[in-house]
Amino acid sequence: MITSHNGPQPADFTDVRATNLAVVLRFVRENAPCSRADIAATTGLNKATVSSLVADLIDRRLLRETGLTEHRVGRPATMLVLDGSPYAAIGIEVNVDYITAVAVDLKGEELLNWRRSFPGGTSGAGQAVAAMAALARRVVSRMTKEARQVLGLTVAVPGLVDVNGIVRVAPNLGWRDADLAGDLTKALRDPGFPVLVDNDANLAALAEHRFGPHRNAANLVYVTGEVGVGAGIVMDGRLRRGGQGYSGEIGHIEVDPAGPTCRCGRRGCLESVAGIGAILARTAPDASPSELELEIDDVVRRARNGERDILELLENVGRHLGRGMAAVANMLNPEVVILGGYYVPLAPWLVACAEEELYGRVLAPGGGGCRLEVSTLGYGAAALGAAARVLDSVDSGRLPAQR
Amino acid sequence: MITSHNGPQPADFTDVRATNLAVVLRFVRENAPCSRADIAATTGLNKATVSSLVADLIDRRLLRETGLTEHRVGRPATMLVLDGSPYAAIGIEVNVDYITAVAVDLKGEELLNWRRSFPGGTSGAGQAVAAMAALARRVVSRMTKEARQVLGLTVAVPGLVDVNGIVRVAPNLGWRDADLAGDLTKALRDPGFPVLVDNDANLAALAEHRFGPHRNAANLVYVTGEVGVGAGIVMDGRLRRGGQGYSGEIGHIEVDPAGPTCRCGRRGCLESVAGIGAILARTAPDASPSELELEIDDVVRRARNGERDILELLENVGRHLGRGMAAVANMLNPEVVILGGYYVPLAPWLVACAEEELYGRVLAPGGGGCRLEVSTLGYGAAALGAAARVLDSVDSGRLPAQR
DNA sequence: TTTAGTTAGTTCCATAGCCAAACAAACGTC
DNA sequence: GACGTTTGTTTGGCTATGGAACTAACTAAA
């Protein structure tokens, strides 16, 4: 059944074609290497149709025949794989003190992963655009040198990004109402590919949804563990941004009214009791943003050593985190909640307590089937997701023009 | 663009046809009376295509020509409206002490609204099925007498209903793991129309999404105000049920750890501090379920009289409700949260306090554009939504067979 | 070495359903 | 009554799918 999610839009043949091209492309992505016959058998498309679709995709250099054939009764199949070489998708992640740029090919293979330090916290959005544009240009020229066509660029920003890509508030960066996508497009001077901006948690969720071990889950929530705590929500197989794009702001859910005062002015917000700040406030109150990673390493070391106050601190954080996740699970019933950011190294001391609280508080039988897992994508999840956002456009049928 | 939301499914011509039939049907629903030319101009479909689609819909007796024509230059248009007469969609809502059945035509016009008392709290699911089947049979025979074809029947249940329509837990009814849809289909002996089961909050949300004053909102949340507090979530224009169908269970979000013990065993759940039970525990601790409505009327009367303790109680409930809604708004960023059930008569004393808490706690600028509104659909919202669920199938292209 | 059996992928044709353009119909206006 | 305007139908062309027949390329067994 064809459904268009935002109001009814008429369909015609080009839509059928685009849909079926996307079906084949996604099938090959998930089942490569595979033959035309496999595709026909599994998707239900006619063999003839599959041949035509595959020919089209090969023409556009999205697929490639490996020539490899299996060894069994019958005519050997010509196997198909995604063609990694001719395209690239770029993702950029802005943080307080660094920018990360990644480029991936159609398969999601990482082509490069550059990290540049960057005084985001102190400079305005204008300077940031210049820095991002400079980095983007270098990535693009590298991709061009490798004879790759850039399909798009997406920027992940820690903050509220509205549905039009305007950065409304990015507290850690000190930005307000910045038209980052527009400014960056201008700075890149007609780049020939779309430039998009989205929230970092949303994009990290997208990365998990496409590349993570739970990529089959149509309903998942990714939780960022930085100074701020935010969530990206995938429901029914797509990112859900809400009416204005501000969904997933779980950092200021109240989990402990007796807790400390949050930077938002109220008490006991999830972020203030279970965010990374809540840990560092106790262990390294004067740490600057650029020292976060080192400080967390130190916390991990002390936890490994079994230091009692650290273990208690982490258990407490885990419990509060579990309460927050219970609210998430009760409201959204995801198949999995994935903890990211600095929660990853701390996970061994957080997850058990968090799970206990979670399962104790979820109303649905068996916790509604909701598992609490730890991200395996590393710190660059948002940047990876930003690149995945580009690939999503391709997957949903906006294929690059024929040669 | 054609997108299929749950994994890629191939499309063919029948899908194009179904999509376009649905487009025309929805257009006429929202813009009736209108001409073929209007449809073509607005939807972008070709005039010829529209003619063919309309002919098809008239054949299936979903549309009707009114013959009315405008009075202006050019050939007069033959106006089209939804044909109300030949079809009916049935919705049934089960409650602790009564069952409501409604039937609507394609326009959503209510054809009947029957309420039968019913000892749901004391009888098992088996008896309930018998009672529902009896009521359903009477509704069906009434519809048949009016020469209407029944398109489907949906049952709204206050409880956890999984994605397959199995009622996992319905605490107020005392049901567990009841295959209501299957049993009811059996009891109706090959009814010739689909029988579905869903959660009452989900279906009420659907009713608001289709018939309510905020029907244009693609992202809305409906909150039930009964003994239990639950939510139905519409995001990007569709009901979102989560992985197993248990989304929207907001009743046990913790909003006040110092609050009273909830029936779930923990403290300070939204339901226990802002549910109807929290009010009645103070005003009429011994009220039975069947007296709820009367008791609430009494609370309203006393609030109107300005009784101080009642006003304080309601203000307190409003504040807690606002905190819960802040969690909802932060997580989902809906365009509107709609309060239903017993919150409706109490709204004059709840909404102001709730809004204050809500807007004070939503992180997004301007509360993320989230408004707090009161349902105008009355107590039968879930039953109406159950009928709307049937109409949704039609709208998404599963049209009744040709004559 | 031949023959049968199996699986892969292409070719050919029928069909469905869209769009564009021409056309017929029915009205106001001058 | 001629003309312009708008509506809706008819006709033909085009695209893409599906089914059936066919070719291709292999294994297995006689």
Cβ–Cβ below 8 Å for B8 and A27:
yes
* Strand C close to A35 by CB, under 7 A: yes
- What lies within 8 Å, CB to CB, of A137 at 6+ separation is A188
d(CA B300, CA B312): 13
Which two three-digit tokens encode residue A301? 């070391």
- What lies within 8 Å, CB to CB, of B285 at 6+ separation is none
Residue from B296, B156, B282, B176 nearest B226 by CA? B296
Residue from A241, A236, A231 nearest A218 by CA? A236
Query: What integer is the mean pLDDT of B363-369?
Result: 88
d(CA B156, CA B102): 11
Residue B76 dihedral angles phi and psi, to the nearest 5°: -70, 150
Mean per-residue pLDDT over chain B, rounded = 90
Q: Give the pLDDT confidence score for residue A123 in this predicted structure.
A: 65
d(CA A394, CA A28): 14
Q: Is A328 within 8 Å of chain B by CB? A: yes
- One-letter amino acid of B354: A
Q: Give the pLDDT confidence score for residue B1 in this predicted structure.
A: 35
Tell me the Ramachandran region of residue A223: left when phi exceeds 0, alpha when psi lies from -120 to 50, beta otherwise.
Answer: beta
Q: Give the pLDDT confidence score for residue B190 in this predicted structure.
A: 86
Which is more confidently placed, B351 or A163?
B351
Residue from A337, A281, A339 nearest A313 by CA? A281
Q: What angle do CA A326, A328, A334 make, to 5 degrees?
A: 105
Picking from A43, A218, A253, the nearest residue to B327 by CB comes out as A253
Pairing of strands B220-223, B149-157: unpaired
Report the b/e string of B156-194 with b at 16+ CB within 10 A: bbbbbbbeebbbbbbebbbbeebbbbebbbebbeebebe
* Strand D close to B51 by CB, under 7 A: yes
d(CA B32, CA A400): 40
Which is more confidently placed, A172 or A111?
A111
Residue A215 dihedral angles phi and psi, to the nearest 5°: -65, -15
Residue B126's pLDDT band (boundaries 50, 70, 90)? confident
CA distances from A226 to A64, A202, A277, B170, B367 (A): 41, 14, 8, 39, 23
Q: Which nucleotide is nearest to A72 (CA to C1')?
A: D27
Q: What angle do CA A48, A49, A55 make, to 5 degrees?
A: 90
Q: Give the pLDDT confidence score for residue A207 in this predicted structure.
A: 97
| pLDDT 10s digits, A81-94 | 999 889 999 999 99
Residue B172's pLDDT band (boundaries 50, 70, 90)? confident
- What lies within 8 Å, CB to CB, of A309 at 6+ separation is none
In chain A, whose CA is at the least distance from the CA of B168? Answer: A365
- What lies within 8 Å, CB to CB, of A346 at 6+ separation is A225, A279, A296, A299, A300, A303, A314, A317
d(CA B219, CA B290): 34
Whether B377 has a pLDDT exceeding 60, the answer reads yes
Whether B334 has a pLDDT exceeding 80, the answer reads yes
Query: What integer is the mean pLDDT of A284-296?
Result: 79
Residue pair A300/A185 in contact (Cβ under 8 Å)? The answer is no
Our measurement of CA A249 to C1' C13, in angstroms, reads: 57
- For testing contact with chain A, the best of B246, B358, B399 (most A CBs within 10 A): B246
Our measurement of CA B148 to C1' C25, in angstroms, reads: 35
Which two three-digit tokens encode residue A294? 């080192």
Q: Give the pLDDT confidence score for residue A255 in this predicted structure.
A: 81
Whether B3 has a pLDDT exceeding 50, the answer reads no
Residues 55-94 of chain A sitting with CB below 7 angstroms of strand C: 55, 72-78
Residue A122's pLDDT band (boundaries 50, 70, 90)? low
Which two three-digit tokens encode residue A164? 């039009």
In percent, the amount of chain B with pLDDT more than 70 equals 96
Q: Give the lowest-confidence range in A269-273, A358-362, B289-293.
A: B289-293
Residues 76-95 of chain B sitting with CB below 7 angstroms of strand D: 76-78
What spatial distance separates the first Cα and last Cα of chain B, rounded to whole Å? 32
Q: Which nucleotide is nearest to B54 (CA to C1')?
A: D8
| pLDDT 10s digits, A5-23 | 345 688 888 999 999 999 9
Residue A121's pLDDT band (boundaries 50, 70, 90)? low
pTM: 0.93
d(CA B106, CA A96): 55
| pLDDT 10s digits, B74-121 | 888 899 999 988 999 999 999 888 899 999 999 999 999 999 987 755
Q: Give the pLDDT confidence score for residue A10 in this predicted structure.
A: 87
Our measurement of CA A74 to C1' C9, in angstroms, reads: 12
Query: What integer is the mean pLDDT of B180-189?
Result: 94
In chain A, whose CA is at the least distance from the CA of B263? Answer: A363
Which is more confidently placed, A291 or A47?
A47
Which two three-digit tokens encode residue A178? 């910045």
d(CA A241, CA A199): 9
Q: Give the pLDDT confidence score for residue B6 in this predicted structure.
A: 38
Residue B232 dihedral angles phi and psi, to the nearest 5°: -115, 135
Q: Is B202 within 8 Å of chain A by CB? A: no
Q: Give the pLDDT confidence score for residue A280 in this predicted structure.
A: 86
Reduce the DSSP state of residue A351 to 3 states and report it: helix
Residue pair B326/A269 in contact (Cβ under 8 Å)? The answer is no
Q: Which residue is nearest to nucleotide C5 (CA to C1')?
A: A74
Residue showing tokens 């050939």: B75
What spatial distance separates the first Cα and last Cα of chain A, rounded to whole Å? 32
Q: Give the pLDDT confidence score for residue A241 in this predicted structure.
A: 96
Residue showing tokens 């869903």: B198
| pLDDT 10s digits, A313-334 | 999 999 999 999 999 999 999 9
Residue pair A242/B220 in contact (Cβ under 8 Å)? The answer is no
Q: Give the pLDDT confidence score for residue A312 in this predicted structure.
A: 94
Report the b/e string of A248-276 with b at 16+ CB within 10 A: bbbbbbbbbeebeebeeebebbbbbbbbb
| pLDDT 10s digits, A376-396 | 998 889 999 999 999 998 888
Picking from A5, A266, A332, the nearest residue to B238 by CB comes out as A5
Residue B4's pLDDT band (boundaries 50, 70, 90)? very low
Residue showing tokens 């939204």: B270
Pick the most confident of B31-35, B259-263, B371-375.
Answer: B371-375
Query: What integer is the mean pLDDT of B312-331?
Result: 94
Chain A hits for B257, Cβ within 8 Å: 256-258
d(CA A384, CA A340): 13
* Strand C close to A13 by CB, under 7 A: yes
Largest CA distance in chain B: 72
Residue pair B240/B159 in contact (Cβ under 8 Å)? The answer is no
3-state secondary structure chain B: CCECCCCCCCCCHHHHHHHHHHHHHHHHHHHCCECHHHHHHHHCCCHHHHHHHHHHHHHCCCEEECCCCCCCCCCCCCCEEECCCCEEEEEEEECCCEEEEEEECCCCCEEEEEEEECCCCCCCHHHHHHHHHHHHHHHHHHHHHCCCEEEEEEEEECCEECCCCCEEEECCCCEEEECHHHHHHHHCCCCCCCEEEEEHHHHHHHHHHHHCCCCCCCCEEEECCCCCCCEEEEECCEECCCCCCCCCCHHHCECCCCCCECCCCCECEHHHHHCHHHHHHHHCCCCCHHHHHHHHHHHHHHHHCCCHHHHHHHHHHHHHHHHHHHHHHHHHCCCEEEECCCHHHHHHHHHHHHHHHHHHHCCCHHHHHCEEEECCCCCCHHHHHHHHHHHHHHHCCCCCCCC
Q: Which residue is nearest to nucleotide D11 (CA to C1')?
A: B48
- What lies within 8 Å, CB to CB, of A292 at 6+ separation is A227, A276, A280, A342
Mean per-residue pLDDT over chain A, rounded = 90
| pLDDT 10s digits, B192-217 | 999 999 999 999 999 999 999 999 89
Residue pair B132/B124 in contact (Cβ under 8 Å)? The answer is no
Whether B278 has a pLDDT exceeding 90, the answer reads no
Which two three-digit tokens encode residue B304? 């109107």
| pLDDT 10s digits, B5-46 | 335 688 888 899 999 999 999 999 999 789 999 999 999 999
Residue pair B385/B203 in contact (Cβ under 8 Å)? The answer is yes
